[in-house]
């Protein structure tokens, strides 16, 4: 039985690890291309956090949903990385 889409989206969008990691990595990025790296890091952090939720019993264990959580977390991480990149402070020399 495939995982429910709402469970996958809930684990990805409402995941504090995905949001925080994506924003912070995007904030430290010095080039727009590194927003993809922020998305990847956020996806990995989201999967780890979702796995911990499943191990502790706070969320029903559905291991098949973790790949969907990674993909959705990657997309959410790119959005939060872009937000972090656009809100960062610029150095006086323009870099």
Residue 60 lies in a domain: yes
Of residues 80 and 59, the one with the higher pLDDT is 80
The structure tokens listed for 83 are 């937000």
pLDDT at res. 21: 96
Q: pTM here?
A: 0.86
Q: What is the total count of domains within the chain?
A: 1
> Other CB atoms closer than 10 Å to residue 75's CB: what's the count?
17
Q: Using an 8 Å Cβ cutoff, are 43 and 77 in contact?
A: yes
Containing domain of residue 80, as a range?
7-85
Helices (H), the chain: 5-13, 16-28, 35-56, 66-86
pLDDT at res. 52: 92
Residue 63 lies in a domain: yes
Residue 94 lies in a domain: no
pLDDT in tens, 11-31: 888 999 999 999 999 999 989
Residue 93 lies in a domain: no
pLDDT in tens, 46-67: 999 988 988 998 888 788 888 8
Residue 92 lies in a domain: no
Residue 18 lies in a domain: yes
Cα gap 79→43, rounded to integer Å: 12
Which positions ≥6 away from 48 have C-beta within 8 Å?
A: 17
Residue 70 lies in a domain: yes
């Amino acid at each position: 039985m495939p995982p429910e889409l709402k469970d996958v989206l809930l684990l990805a969008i409402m995941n504090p690890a995905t949001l925080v990691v994506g924003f912070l990595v995007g904030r430290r990025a010095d080039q727009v291309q590194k927003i993809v790296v922020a998305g990847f890091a956020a996806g990995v952090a989201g999967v780890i956090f979702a796995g911990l939720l499943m191990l502790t019993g706070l969320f029903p264990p559905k291991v098949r949903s973790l790949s969907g959580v990674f993909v959705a977390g990657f997309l959410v991480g790119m959005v939060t990385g872009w937000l972090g990149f656009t809100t960062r402070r610029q150095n006086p020399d323009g870099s």
